[in-house]
Structure 1
Amino acid sequence: MIQTKRIYIFAGFIWCFLFALISFYWAGGGMIGVKSLGGSIYKKAIERESSFIAIVWFTGFVKLCGGLFLLLLLRQWSNRTNRFLYFLTLIAGIFLSLYGLANFISLILSSIGLLSLQIDSFALKWRLFFWEPFWMIGGVFFILSAIGFKKVNILS
């Protein structure tokens, strides 16, 4: 059980770390993969608007902090702290999963003409087959980390 708990935590940490690296790369001026985001995000990345770039840097740090937060689950804490960490991790996982799912559904509705989004077919495919599932996978890592943490630290 303890090994399984660690696998999900480390997988979630790696997910966060890679996601943060992508944000830092784009914030630093890298353009590889930006077109896959499409819409206004792609346009703002091309324009290099300073407020948008600041947001990209900020999101990179938030993603990195999410990974570091998951590493807190590797240690035994007080019962109160354990419960707090469990619920925060579970809520974050649910949010990440629902965010990816909501975007995925919106993109599906757009692709069949029921919703009007300003996104080209290239970005639509990337978002449907990579970006939104990537968000959902991260959410699953957080949820599984929380469940494993609860079984080992809260129920014991």
Structure 2
Amino acid sequence: MKKNYWMIAIGMVWTVVFAAMSFYWAMGGLIGARSLGGSIYEMSLDPPRSFVIILWLTGIMKLFGLLLLSLLLLQWRKPLISSGLFYVTKIVGIVLFFYGFLNFTTITLSLFHILDFDLESYAVWWRLLFWEPFWMAGGVFYFFSVKRI
């Protein structure tokens, strides 16, 4: 397995920023919440305890990505571990990218009134210009962190 240290480093920064957003919102921060739109934004205004717990857990789950990328920096003697990390990293990259891509596609369809979402125009544009590309960028960082020799 060959490692792309630049992609690993950028992926680590991306992951920390991504997790920090969840922690910030879990602590009651509202900057950027309106850009998510719909029921997520409405819940963030007066969050029930369960919503706050979900935000904390989401942030913690995102940090597992930091652990995954950190494990790539180690030299493993067992080829099975290296191979497993290779495939897990590739799969995480694909999932992140396609999550953003599918959201981008469905929100674009709603923009053309093909689908109907409960999103105000402000949130639609933020989702199309920032949030969904942000997810896709993370997928690219993870996917290209490793490659076969």
TM-score by length of 2: 0.95
Residue number in structure 2 paired with 1:86: 86
Give the CA deviation at 1:125.
0.4
Which structure has the highest helix share of the two? 1
Tell me if the contact between 1:10 and 1:71 (Cα under 8 Å) persists in the aligned partners: no
Residue in structure 1 matched with residue 63 of structure 2 by the alignment = 64
2:115 aligns to what SS in structure 1?
coil
Q: Is the contact between residue 87 and residue 146 of structure 1 (CA under 8 Å) also seen in structure 2?
A: no
The equivalent residue for 1:15 is: 14
Deviations 1:34-89 (A, max 9, x none): 00000111011112111111111111111112112101101111100001000000
Structure 2 SS opposite 1:118: coil
Runs (4+) of structure 1 moved beyond 4 Å?
none
The runs of 5 or more residues in structure 1 that have no matched partner are 152-156
TM-score (norm. length: structure 1)? 0.91
Which range moves more in the overlay, 48-57 or 81-90? 48-57
In 1, Cα distance between the equivalents of 2:146 and 2:37?
Answer: 33
Equivalent pairs: percent with the same residue?
Answer: 46
**Partners of 2:53 and 2:45 in 1: CA distance:** 14
1:115-134 correspondence to structure 2 within 5 Å: 115-134=115-134
Letter of the 1:86 partner, please give it. F
Aligned equivalents of 2:67, 2:12: Cα separation in 1: 7
RMSD of equivalent CA atoms: 1.1
Q: 2: distance between equivalents of 1:106 and 1:18?
A: 25
> Given residue 6 of structure 1, which amino acid in structure 2 is its aligned partner?
Y
1:74-131 Cα shifts (integer Å, max 9, x gaps): 1111100001000000000000000000000000000000000000000000000000
> Any gaps of 5 or more consecutive residues in structure 2?
none
SS at match of 1:90: helix
Q: Tell me whether 1:51 sits opposite 2:50 in the alignment.
A: yes
Aligned match of 2:74? 75
SS in 2 for 1:36: coil
Structure-2 separation of matches of 1:59 and 1:146: 25
Write the distance in 2 (CA, Å) between the matches of 1:128 and 1:50: 29
Give the residue type in structure 2 aligned to 1:62. Answer: M
